[in-house]
Structure 1
Amino acid sequence: MARWLSALGSLVARRPRTTIGTWLVLLALGVTGYLTLGGTLSSTVSLPGTPTARVAEQLQQEFPDASGGSGTVVFHAEDGAALTDAQRSEISALLARVAQTPGVKGTVDPFTTTAQRDQQAQQLEGGQQQIDAARAQLDAGQAQLTAGRAQLEALPAAAQQSPRVQAQLAALEQQQTQLDAGRAQLEEQARQADLGSRLVAVSEGVRQVSADGGTALGVVQFALPQDQVTPETKEAVVSQLQSDEGRSTIPGVQVALSQELVQEVPEVFGPGEAVGLVIAAVTLLVVLGTAIAAAVPIVSAVVGVGVGVTAALSLSGVVDMISVTPILGVMLGLAVGIDYSLFLINRHRRQLLHGMPLRASIALATGTAGNAVVFAGLTVVIALAALNVTGIGFLGLMGTVGAFCVLVAVAMAVTFTPAVLSLLGARVLRRKERAFYDRHDAAAEQQRHDDDAAEAAAQRALRPMRTGRAVVTVVLGVAVLGLLAVPAASLRLGLPDGSSESADSTQYQAFELTERAFGAGANGPLLVVADLPQPLTGTDQLAEQVRVAEQLKGLADVAAVAPIGASADSRLLAFQVVPVSGPTAEATEVLVQDIRALPEGYGVAGVASGNIDVSEKLAGALPGYLGLVVGLSLLILVVVFRSLLVPLTATLGFVLSLFATLGAITAVYQWGWLASVFGVTTPGPVLSFLPTIVIGIMFGLAMDYQLFLVSGMREAYAHGAHARTAVTAGVKAGRRVVVAAAIIMISVFAGFIGSDSVIIRSFGFGLAFGVLADAFVVRLLVIPAVMHLLGRSAWWLPGWLARVLPDVDVEGASLERSHAGAGAGAGAGATVAGGAAEAAPTR
């Protein structure tokens, strides 16, 4: 691989404009493909095959009129009083206009609905009074019939046989039959009235106008399912409900829109991301010393992100893609793209300062540092591609897109970067360094020789760290990470709702107003369906509705139950269940499980139920995926380092930093620690697919840092250094570039913490903290200390295994030794890490 990459580097160095032009053409093709073939990104997360999805499909078939998506509009009197008649009229008129919007099937007027419910309650109350009056009349009539029959039966037997008396008795029997029929009809009406009253009682908590009359809930019903409603339709609805500045179009009335109406694709690049890139640029300037050299990794990463993300978005027209998928590609593409280009540029600069010719230096840097970049990138790609084994479609697609963007970043690092370096020539060096590079007289050659000798002497003078310090470092490092991991024990997974948005957003305001006026459960009602063993109609159907509704109302954490209706074949009943708790509360999760556990086997759907199902499936896939990643970690590192203990310690370090990261995520987003600092408005469950994504990305990045540090130790040990001295040599060789790379990644990821999307914010925090913990605590402190304590045993490998394992030569040492011009330059023992920073010790 190293020799092939070296030849590639030599080729692009000779044809830099062709190489750069090819990438620009690919970028243009990607943009064109996105503009012509790209589809709509979904803002909702759903999984086919879950219990909620099955119930939703059943509802779509049996209740097609109720199968479309919907969104809630909250109208609130700004003065805190009840909405006036004029304001109510304007609200009704506004909803009527919204109903005419293309893509909108209709709207629900809260005042009309409330009036109908009140009228129904009054009718039931009046009907009950009429039933009582009719029952009294029937009782009076029965008393008269009974008295008349008693009088006739008191007559002598002979008199009773007379035709007149017989006619009277027959008339009484006829009246009794009519009376019985009337009583039966009345009792049926009484039963229906009683059942209706019981339904009204269990649905009392389902309201659309608050008790104080100051808040009303309107509903916009779309013609398509929620995940198929186009952004254009939503924008058309929002434009009628609010002005361009987000203000209400009704004087004195605050209009807040639910998440289903305004949830949009988050912006790819904002102020936070810009700050992250600025910090990365400053770090590059410090490390590389010139603005021109510092600009190369950023330009390379940006072009690579453009190619990778636009190519992925071109497929959004044929595959369902959630909005966070391309953002993940941007995050990864920028972070690894800058780092990988930095590794190669730093190696190239080092070789130029040792007097190597420009194109020869580019070729060698591409073959050595580029070889390490390819291998490091492949570890990230493997971890992300492995997300497909979870069996969760949207998660696998996220992993595939992320892996593709990383592959593009690797390709950019070994082609685009060398091409730009060829055009820049010696301008990647500082001015003083460039003047020294341009000199080829005897004094300059002697200076280079003296520098090499001084460097070699410094390497020989290296001493291992003290054993006591190593023990303290391991103990403290593990203790700190273990303490950070404690909150992870209470980790709960879920999907964000309106309460997770920023406090000034309309989604958050709608959520808060709804909870304040109607209770927390009104933000996440459940849809429950009951399959009937046989069709029921009339009063029997009504009785079954009451039975099911009262059964559901009797469950813990149920505020109200309202019947939605029956299917056309009268074999399916649907209900709206309003929980007491909010959609992400543990009590709501328990309620969903309790409903499904009832003997009748009711189905549950709705946003809250869907989120619970998605979270449960992701939580179930998490242990298996973690096991797969750990297994891959061990296998890859055994091949790379030809050791058993080094991979074991590296993997344990990854697990430590992972759980510390999950603990930090739990503490901030679930417990609410430092909530104001990280923009957490309402603590709640952690984003359900965040831990899985963090595992995949952190694994790849952890292996990157392990490779760039420990490979320096291995090369120094292989060239004769004492095992413990080799640890110091490896850290010294790779520390500078690993610190710079980690700072760059942290700044890029942290830039996304300021995103307008809570999903992107949590991703940015998780990945930034993960890199911080793994790079600075595990790789730079704990692992070197452990390697020191292990000594020579760290490199032990059974003989039979050594014969079986391939020699991958990630460091490109064989290429370096055979390179004609490398001997006086970077040194025969230069390592991958050394290629990015310093030369490793030689024997």
Structure 2
Amino acid sequence: MATFLYKLGRFAFRRRNLVALVWVALLALAGVGAASASTATSASFSIPGTEAQKAFDLLEERFPGGSADGATARVVFKAPDGEKMTSAANKAEVEKIVDELPAGSDQIARVTDPYTAKAVSQDGSTAYVSVTYKVSSMELTEETRTALEETGADARDAGLTVEIGGDALQAAPETGATEVIGVSVAAVVLVITFGSLIAAGLPLLTALIGVGIGVSSITALASVMDLGSTTSILAMMIGLAVGIDYALFIVSRYRAELTEGREPEEAAGRAAGTAGSAVVFAGLTVVIALVGLSVVNIPMLTKMGVAAAGTVVIAVLVALTLVPAMLGYAGRRVQGKKVRERHARERAASADGKVAEGKPNMGTRWARFVLRRPVAVLLTGVVGLGIIAVPATSLEMGLPDDGSQPTSTTQRKAYDMLSDGFGPGFNGPLMVVVDGKGDDNAKQTAGQVTDAVKDLKGVAAVTPATYNKAGDTATITVVPKDRPSSVETENLVHAIRDAGGEIASGSEAKVLVTGATAMNTDFSEKMNDALLPYLALVVGLAFLLLMLVFRSVLVPLKAALGFLLSVVAALGAVVAVFQWGWLSGLFGVEQTGPVMSMMPIFMVGVVFGLAMDYEVFLVTRMREAYVHGERPGQAIVTGFRHGARVVTAAAVIMMAVFAGFIGSGESMIKMIGFSLAIAVFFDAFVVRMAIVPAVLALLGDKAWWLPRWLDRLLPNVDVEGEQLRKMLEKESDGAGSGQGPDAGPGSDKELVRV
């Protein structure tokens, strides 16, 4: 692989105009596709195989025209103190809105009158109008959404409090200005790392081109592939981080090759052959982790993972081709004037027989410190992360609703008004579906279910059964006493299912429970059930991949265990901030509550790939030194001397990019941005920079042990570039004797003596 990438890097360097033109053309093509694509609808949310999904599908089949998947809204009214919503004046204001809403949009399926639908609280202080739309929230026109937002203006003037809840007001998530700050921080880090504006700007430019192609492609395909707006944001988040990092490693190795006296084209080829090999395998681990999300069998999560993986693939291709091409334009200027002058002095001193001695860099000093105290460093890192992970034992998962919105939003105000007027469970009603097809006593069964549910603990109200036209399917609405995301409501879902199962056991009927709260319960349980198989698949595949890279058993094992430690610690931090509310104001968390159900497994997938990035980039340098004859301890120092500064910069850049998304108005994006940023901090600076060298120091030569039979079975992928080095030495000797196949001036393959 290293040999192929070496040739690819030199080709891209020489034919930089062609390579750059191809990438610019791809960016333009993707941009045109995104601009001409039809507006994407909201991504459909389904959980195949769960009871809630089966009931939802049954409702669409048995109640045609019910707009089961359409957007909904609740216009909530509260009377002034001392008044009631049943007064003539207040009733007139509400009924005027009931009449005006259907006239304002042809996308409305139906509007219910609160006075005929018994949607007035017992104390008469609160009432609500239910609005059901024919289309999903993302398909609503601006005119329809504006008409809904302006609803109740006259009622407010009359003294009523009017707020609007439901998903009809849900818009595409907006990203905050902090993302720009994150990219700006990345730019500053690159300038500090390289000491050159050109070297700093190159990774940013190439990463933005790659992300532009990836996100534009997702936008162009969003309508066809049913991709939600969140998908492109997550792809941007991951694509920016890995795109900058992969380019950073190539540019850093290129500068190192220039420092050793190689010509720019040769330096670009060697950088692509060595650091490029690490980029390929690091990218593969990220892709495996993201595509592996498909094992959860939730279409939305699968699409998010595949889309993000596609962006990572683009980032790898950009790093291997466009970065060497851009280096062809920059030449030696990537080093900066001061660096070039210092290297010139060092080469002059070397020519005079003098040895230039410099102060060991920070990476070297840290590696030597760890080698002196490996046990202390290991215990400190493990115990510290273990303490931070403690809150993860209290992890509660759920899906967001209007109750998780900031208190300043109209959705949250409507949610609170309904809770105060009708009870905490009113915002999360359960829908019991009795499928009586094939049952001769379908209505009797539905009546038995209704009576049984009324007697269950935690039930506030039960509506009479409503039947479809055929009379073979009934729906029963159950209002819990407790809030939708509570453990008590989750237990009620299971209690209803158990009671319904007992009643239906003696007949052909089926009793199913659905609704947003039941979907939430099923989704969380499916996430929990899928986490261990997902970990086994992803960690297992990556373990095999890392065995190929490092030719070792213990190094991949240590990498996987370290990743698990950093992930659990990151989950503990997420629980502390988003669930317990610790330091929530610092991160703009206005409402605490359960952790997003899909966040842990998505974080596991992304962080695993990124963690292996640092493992590959840092430890391959150690492996390279060890293969070339250095002792284990010295190889650790060599790896840190060459790689610590770059890995540190890469980690800081990723943290800055991910932290930038904490400013998003979408709670899921905010939570994922925080979790990825803190997980990168734990994994890069505690696990990879402290625990990894401590473990390698304690293992010594055993760290690189591989059974002979396994060594013969595993293909040699040559990440360290050993075969490339031998090939270059052979060709160099051939060129020197005049017998090499490509000897002679002017040849594209002419090699510089080193």
TM-score above 0.5: yes
SS in 1 for 2:542: helix
- Give CA deviations for 1:506-526 in whole Å, capped at 9, x if unaligned: 222222222122211111111
Paired position in structure 2 for 1:56: 56
Paired position in structure 1 for 2:583: 674
Cα 1:729/1:12, change in 2 over 3 Å:
closer
Q: Does structure 2 conserve the Cα–Cα contact (< 8 Å) formed by 1:77 and 1:214?
A: yes
Paired position in structure 1 for 2:15: 15
2:695 paired residue among 753, 773, 786:
786
- Pairing of 1:125-164 with structure 2 (within 5 A): none
Q: Does structure 1 conserve the Cα–Cα contact (< 8 Å) formed by 2:2 and 2:273?
A: yes
Paired position in structure 1 for 2:385: 481
- Give CA deviations for 1:693-718 in whole Å, capped at 9, x if unaligned: 11111111111111112122222222
Check if 1:89 corresponds to 2:92. Answer: yes
Measured in 2, the distance between the counterparts of 1:457 and 1:24 equals 43
Measured in 1, the distance between the counterparts of 2:496 and 2:597 equals 22
Cα 1:577/1:13, change in 2 over 3 Å:
same
1:402 paired residue among 308, 332, 350:
308
Paired position in structure 2 for 1:26: 26
Cα 1:87/1:21, change in 2 over 3 Å:
farther
Check if 1:210 corresponds to 2:116. Answer: no
Letter in 1 for 2:543: L
- Pairing of 1:323-338 with structure 2 (within 5 A): 323-338=229-244
Paired position in structure 2 for 1:72: 73
Cα 1:47/1:309, change in 2 over 3 Å:
same
Measured in 2, the distance between the counterparts of 1:431 and 1:333 equals 31
- Rg larger in structure: 1
Paired position in structure 2 for 1:560: 461
CA offset at residue 405 of structure 1?
0.3
Paired position in structure 2 for 1:498: 402
Paired position in structure 2 for 1:446: 348
Paired position in structure 1 for 2:503: 600
- Pairing of 1:300-379 with structure 2 (within 5 A): 300-379=206-285
Measured in 2, the distance between the counterparts of 1:216 and 1:800 equals 75
**Where does structure 1 differ by over 6 angstroms across 4 or more consecutive aligned residues?**
246-249, 455-459, 533-537, 820-823
Measured in 2, the distance between the counterparts of 1:501 and 1:731 equals 45
Paired position in structure 2 for 1:685: 594
Measured in 1, the distance between the counterparts of 2:59 and 2:353 equals 77
Paired position in structure 2 for 1:659: 568
Measured in 1, the distance between the counterparts of 2:45 and 2:391 equals 26
Check if 1:219 corresponds to 2:130. Answer: yes
Paired position in structure 1 for 2:295: 389
CA offset at residue 489 of structure 1?
2.4
CA offset at residue 274 of structure 1?
1.0
SS in 1 for 2:503: coil
CA offset at residue 478 of structure 1?
0.9
Paired position in structure 1 for 2:102: 99
Measured in 1, the distance between the counterparts of 2:281 and 2:458 equals 53
Cα 1:789/1:491, change in 2 over 3 Å:
same
Letter in 1 for 2:26: L
Measured in 2, the distance between the counterparts of 1:210 and 1:4 equals 73
Paired position in structure 2 for 1:827: none
Cα 1:444/1:571, change in 2 over 3 Å:
closer
Paired position in structure 1 for 2:417: 513
CA offset at residue 751 of structure 1?
0.7
Paired position in structure 2 for 1:531: 435
SS in 2 for 1:600: helix
SS in 2 for 1:563: coil
CA offset at residue 783 of structure 1?
0.9
Measured in 1, the distance between the counterparts of 2:81 and 2:93 equals 18
Measured in 2, the distance between the counterparts of 1:706 and 1:625 equals 21
Q: What is the percent sequence identity of the aligned residues? A: 41
CA offset at residue 494 of structure 1?
1.7
Structure 1 range deviating more: 416-425 or 64-73? 64-73
Cα 1:64/1:81, change in 2 over 3 Å:
farther
TM-score (norm 2): 0.89
CA offset at residue 678 of structure 1?
2.6
Paired position in structure 2 for 1:737: 646
Structure 1 range deviating more: 737-746 or 578-587? 578-587
Paired position in structure 1 for 2:746: none
2:492 paired residue among 591, 606, 617:
591
CA offset at residue 357 of structure 1?
2.1
CA offset at residue 556 of structure 1?
1.2
Letter in 2 for 1:577: V
Measured in 1, the distance between the counterparts of 2:208 and 2:180 equals 12
2:373 paired residue among 466, 469, 480:
469
Q: Does structure 2 conserve the Cα–Cα contact (< 8 Å) formed by 1:241 and 1:249?
A: no
- Pairing of 1:573-722 with structure 2 (within 5 A): 573-598=474-499, 599-601=502-504, 602-722=511-631
Which ranges in structure 2 are unaligned for 5 or more consecutive residues?
A: 505-510, 733-754
SS in 1 for 2:247: helix
Which ranges in structure 1 are unaligned for 5 or more consecutive residues?
A: 115-207, 824-843
Measured in 2, the distance between the counterparts of 1:780 and 1:284 equals 20
Letter in 2 for 1:595: I
Check if 1:231 corresponds to 2:152. Answer: no
Letter in 2 for 1:257: I
Letter in 2 for 1:326: S
Structure 1 range deviating more: 252-261 or 15-24? 252-261
- Give CA deviations for 1:275-324 in whole Å, capped at 9, x if unaligned: 11111111111111122321211121111111112212322222222332
SS in 1 for 2:586: coil
Letter in 1 for 2:415: F
CA offset at residue 452 of structure 1?
10
Measured in 2, the distance between the counterparts of 1:239 and 1:262 equals 9
Q: Does structure 1 conserve the Cα–Cα contact (< 8 Å) formed by 2:433 and 2:513?
A: yes
Cα 1:553/1:813, change in 2 over 3 Å:
same
Measured in 1, the distance between the counterparts of 2:207 and 2:466 equals 56
CA offset at residue 659 of structure 1?
1.3
Q: Does structure 2 conserve the Cα–Cα contact (< 8 Å) formed by 1:87 and 1:250?
A: no
Q: Does structure 2 conserve the Cα–Cα contact (< 8 Å) formed by 1:43 and 1:264?
A: no
Paired position in structure 2 for 1:150: none
Measured in 2, the distance between the counterparts of 1:339 and 1:248 equals 55
- Pairing of 1:424-435 with structure 2 (within 5 A): 424-434=330-340
Measured in 2, the distance between the counterparts of 1:52 and 1:772 equals 38
SS in 2 for 1:341: helix
Cα 1:43/1:556, change in 2 over 3 Å:
farther
SS in 1 for 2:464: strand
Cα 1:107/1:49, change in 2 over 3 Å:
same
Q: Does structure 2 conserve the Cα–Cα contact (< 8 Å) formed by 1:724 and 1:791?
A: yes
Structure 1 range deviating more: 778-787 or 707-716? 707-716
CA offset at residue 468 of structure 1?
6.4
- Give CA deviations for 1:30-67 in whole Å, capped at 9, x if unaligned: 12222334552426632233211211222223223434
TM-score (norm 1): 0.80
SS in 2 for 1:807: coil
- Pairing of 1:254-273 with structure 2 (within 5 A): 254-267=161-174, 269-273=175-179
CA offset at residue 95 of structure 1?
3.1
Q: Does structure 2 conserve the Cα–Cα contact (< 8 Å) formed by 1:333 and 1:409?
A: yes
Cα 1:646/1:685, change in 2 over 3 Å:
same
Measured in 1, the distance between the counterparts of 2:352 and 2:3 equals 30
CA offset at residue 113 of structure 1?
2.9
- Give CA deviations for 1:317-341 in whole Å, capped at 9, x if unaligned: 2222233221111011000001111
Measured in 1, the distance between the counterparts of 2:176 and 2:612 equals 30
Letter in 2 for 1:568: K
Q: Does structure 1 conserve the Cα–Cα contact (< 8 Å) formed by 2:430 and 2:516?
A: yes
CA offset at residue 92 of structure 1?
2.3
